[in-house]
């Protein structure tokens, strides 16, 4: 058995949303190192251009595309730009764009709730639809939705965020059910507390969260490398509809 080929992505075209920073940027680099041609999609053009330039310096194939996940026209344009650049369809979507804020349930404002759901749920769904339509025409593809352990268990002051991620997990299951016949696998990764810019709002609670995590630490972006490669590659070819926690056991401890 060729393990490197099993987990490798040589010849694959991958689109990563939210690729200008954090988990998205890190995984875009991991996929490039695994042999994929990578489209880094985000709203912050300067950051993705810088990231693409750095990948190019290492000999990797990458392109930056502007993408606003709340705008269906922007989504279609991003996919078209990526496919035109590489001359091939998107094989893997890493559906990573998201946002978080913490506020007590009774203090959350309508505009904040709407913005979060537009990004975390509606945006993820619109991007997945665009990817799935294109993949279905070729009869193959993999979609990886980035959910959260907040969608698996309750956490204080995360009502909107947790609800959006729980809905994304359920969406993943329904997509997997409907798209299997079209050759498309759909799975979700549920990270716990990963050290990124997005987690800065949790700094005040860091020690309390670590105490409630069996492995007694926050995760790092590289802790997601293995599962991200598994679900994108042939190693995960018989997996669909899964929601995999990567959280140091946090979800177990909070059950």
Active-site position among 31, 60, 94, 161: 161
Q: Residue 114 is inside which H or E element, if any?
A: helix 110-117
Bridge partners of residue 39, in order along the sequence: 15, 63
Q: How far is CA 219 from CA 28, 51, 117, 199, 247, in A?
A: 18, 23, 25, 11, 7
**Tokens for 9?**
């992505």
Task: Evaluate whether 113 touches 159 at the Cβ level (below 8 Å).
Answer: no
Check if 60 is active-site: no
103 burial (CB, 10 Å; 0-12 / 13-18 / 19+) is middle
Bridge partners of residue 143, in order along the sequence: 93, 186
User: Catalytic positions, please?
Assistant: 161
């Amino acid at each position: 058995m060729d393990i490197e080929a099993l987990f490798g992505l040589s010849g694959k075209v991958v689109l990563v949303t939210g690729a200008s920073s954090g988990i998205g940027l890190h995984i875009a680099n991991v996929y490039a190192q695994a042999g994929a041609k990578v489209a880094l999609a985000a709203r912050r053009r300067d950051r993705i251009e810088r990231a693409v330039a750095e990948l190019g310096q290492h000999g990797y194939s990458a392109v930056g595309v502007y993408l606003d996940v709340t705008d269906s026209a922007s989504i279609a344009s991003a996919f078209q730009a990526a496919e035109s650049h590489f001359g091939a369809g998107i094989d893997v979507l890493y559906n990573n764009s998201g946002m978080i804020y913490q506020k007590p349930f009774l203090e959350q404002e309508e505009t904040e709730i709407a913005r979060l759901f537009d990004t975390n749920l509606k945006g993820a769904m619109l991007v997945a639809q665009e990817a799935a339509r294109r993949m279905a025409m070729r009869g193959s593809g993999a979609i990886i939705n980035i959910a959260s352990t907040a969608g698996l268990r309750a956490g204080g002051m995360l009502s909107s965020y947790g609800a959006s991620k729980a809905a994304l997990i359920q969406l993943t299951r329904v997509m997997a059910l409907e798209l299997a016949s079209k050759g498309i696998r759909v799975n979700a990764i549920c990270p716990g507390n990963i050290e990124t810019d997005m987690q800065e709002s949790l700094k005040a609670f860091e020690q309390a969260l670590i105490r409630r995590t069996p492995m007694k630490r926050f995760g790092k972006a590289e802790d997601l490398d293995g599962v991200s490669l598994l679900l994108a590659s042939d190693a995960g070819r018989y997996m669909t509809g899964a929601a995999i926690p990567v959280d140091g056991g946090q979800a177990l401890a909070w059950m």
